[in-house]
Structure 1
Amino acid sequence: MESIELFTGAGGLALGTHVAGFHHRGLYEWDADACETLRRNASIEALPGIRAWRVHQADVRLNSYAIFGQGQLDLVAGGAPCQPFSLGGKHQAQDDSRNMIPEFVRAVRELRPRAFIMENVKGLTRQSFRNYFEYIRLQLTYPTIKKKRDEDWLSHLHRLEAVKTRGRRTELEYNVVSELLNAADYGVPQVRQRVFIVGFRADTELEWHFPEPTHSLDALVWEQHITGEYWKRHGVRPPPDSPARLGVKLSDLENRDEPFPTKPWRTVRDAILGLPEPRTDRESSDFSNHRLNLGARAYPGHTGSPLDLPAKTLKAGVHGVPGGENMMVLPDGKVRYFTVREAARLQTFPDSWRFEGAWSEAMRQLGNAVPVELAAVVARSVAAKLRARNGH
Structure 2
Amino acid sequence: MKTVDLFAGAGGFTTGAELAGCTVVWAANHWPAAVKIHAANHPHTVHACQDLQQTDWRTVPAHDLLLASPACQGHSPARGKEKPHHDALRSTAFAVISAVEHHRPPVFIVENVPEFEDWVLYRAWCLAAEALGYSLAPMVIDAANHGVPQHRCRLFIVGTRSKHPITLKLPQREHTPASAIVNFDAGKWSPIRTAKRSPATLRRIHQGRKDLGCGRFLIPYYSSGSGLTGRSLGRPIGTITTVDRWGVVRGNRMRMLRADEARAAMGFPADYQLPPQHKAAMHMLGNAVCPPVARDVITGIMEAA
Alpha carbons of 1:192 and 1:208: their partners in 2 closer, same or farther (altered >3 Å)? same
* Conserved? CA contact 2:136–2:158, under 8 Å: yes
Identity, % of aligned positions:
25
The match for 1:111 among 88, 100, 103 is: 103
Deviations 1:13-39 (A, max 9, x none): 111112112211210011122112112
Secondary structure in 2 aligned to 1:39?
A: helix
Alignment of 1:62-141 (within 5 A): 62-68=54-60, 72-89=62-79, 96-99=87-90, 100-126=92-118, 129=119, 131-141=120-130
Measured after TM superposition, the shift of residue 329 of structure 1 is 3.8
Report deviation, 1:121: 0.7
Whether 1:307 aligns to 2:236 is no
Structure 2 alignment gaps of length 5 or more: 190-195, 202-220
Where does residue 248 of structure 2 map in the other structure? 328
CA separation in 1, counterparts of 2:289 and 2:270?
Answer: 16
2:293 to 343, 359, 374: 374
Report the CA distance between 1:115 and its aligned residue.
0.2
- The equivalent residue for 1:12 is 12
Q: Is the 8 A contact 2:168 2:304 kept in 1?
A: no
Distance 2:41 2:222 in 1: 38
Q: Is the 8 A contact 2:72 2:113 kept in 1?
A: yes
1:133-282 equivalence runs, <5 A: 133-142=122-131, 172-202=132-162, 208-215=166-173, 263=174, 265-272=175-182, 277-280=185-188
1:206 & 1:384 partners in 2: Cα distance? Answer: 16
Partner of residue 57 from structure 1, selected from 46, 49, 53: 49
Please report how far the alpha carbon of residue 207 of structure 1 lies from its aligned counterpart in structure 2 after TM superposition: 6.4
**Cα 1:76–1:93 shift into 2, 3 Å:** farther
TM-aligned CA deviation for residue 310 of structure 1: 0.6
Secondary structure of 1:306 counterpart? coil
- Please report how far the alpha carbon of residue 296 of structure 1 lies from its aligned counterpart in structure 2 after TM superposition: 8.6
Contact 2:187 2:255 in 1 (8 A): no
Shift of 1:92: 7.5
Report if the CA contact (8 A) 1:296-1:337 is conserved.
no
Which one has a larger percent strand, Structure 1 or Structure 2?
Answer: 2
CA-CA distance at 1:95 after TM superposition: 8.4
Q: CA 1:125/1:276 → structure 2, altered by over 3 Å: closer, same or farther?
A: same
What are the ranges of 5 or more consecutive residues in structure 1 without an aligned counterpart?
43-50, 143-171, 216-262, 282-294, 387-392
Q: C-alpha separation between the residues in 2 aligned to 1:68 and 1:88? A: 33
Shift of 1:68: 4.5
Distance 1:300-1:195 versus aligned 2 partners, 3 A rule: closer
Q: Distance in 1 between matches of 2:187 and 2:99?
A: 45
Give yes or no for the alignment of 1:338 onto 2:257: yes
* 1-structure distance, mates of 2:180, 2:97: 39
TM-score by length of 1: 0.63
**Larger-Rg structure:** 1
Shift of 1:78: 1.0
SS at match of 1:52: coil
**Change over 3 Å in CA distance of 1:336–1:119 after alignment to 2:** same
Whole-Å separation in 1 of the counterparts to 2:262 and 2:128: 35
Please list the CA deviations of residues 179-212 of structure 1 after superposition, one character each: whole Å capped at 9, or x if unmatched: 111111121111101001001113xx67632334
What SS class does the counterpart of residue 341 from structure 1 fall into? helix
Q: Which residue type is aligned with residue 146 of structure 2?
A: Y
Which aligned runs of 4 or more in structure 1 are off by greater than 4 angstroms? 90-95, 302-305
